[in-house]
Amino acid sequence: MNEPDSWFCERDGTSLQKPIPREEPRPPPQPSAVVVLPDKSEIRVTQPIRIFGRSDFLRQLKPESVNEVSRAHFTITRDASAFYIQDGGADANSPNGWKPSLNRTSVNGALLDAGEKRKLNNDDIIDVASLGLNLTFKTR
């Protein structure tokens, strides 16, 4: 019979100590962000790809302006360390798989070129379709 504080089994020599559990490496934290609407409500950007469009801004738009905003007006993407914005969104019916918005998107007053992917910084102002629908990009 083994003593209570034995390290090994007297009979077969196996360890009686519990192995120290290894700490699994944690993935690096992903950046998080929100888009702040004019009424101060927020849309969280939680996925690697987030398409923003007309349905996101219905409460912010005047009825006569609704159709100025595309269904896929701009897209925010995320990699391990930064966020990016592109005008438009993915479209399986377009020859290159991407469809720009009808009335464009600008960041800090500068229009995004077709296909341009621009890095977003904290407090950047996103203007949708030159409607004065100014959104503020905030990193967390």
Amino acid identity of residue 113, one-letter, is: D
Helix (H, G, I), strand (E, B) or coil at 89: strand
pLDDT (tens digit, 9 = 90+) per residue, 51-86?
999 999 999 999 999 999 999 999 999 998 899 999
Tokens in use for 30?
């992903």
Question: pLDDT value at position 5?
Answer: 72
Confidence at residue 26, expressed as pLDDT on a 0 to 100 scale: 80
| CATH code given to domain 33-139 | 2.60.200.20
Q: How confident is the model at residue 19 (pLDDT cuts 50, 70, 90)?
A: low
What is the domain partition of the chain in residue ranges?
Answer: 33-139
Residue 50 and residue 120 in contact, taking contact as beta carbons nearer than 8 Å: no
pLDDT tens column, 84-118: 999 999 888 888 888 999 999 999 999 999 889 99
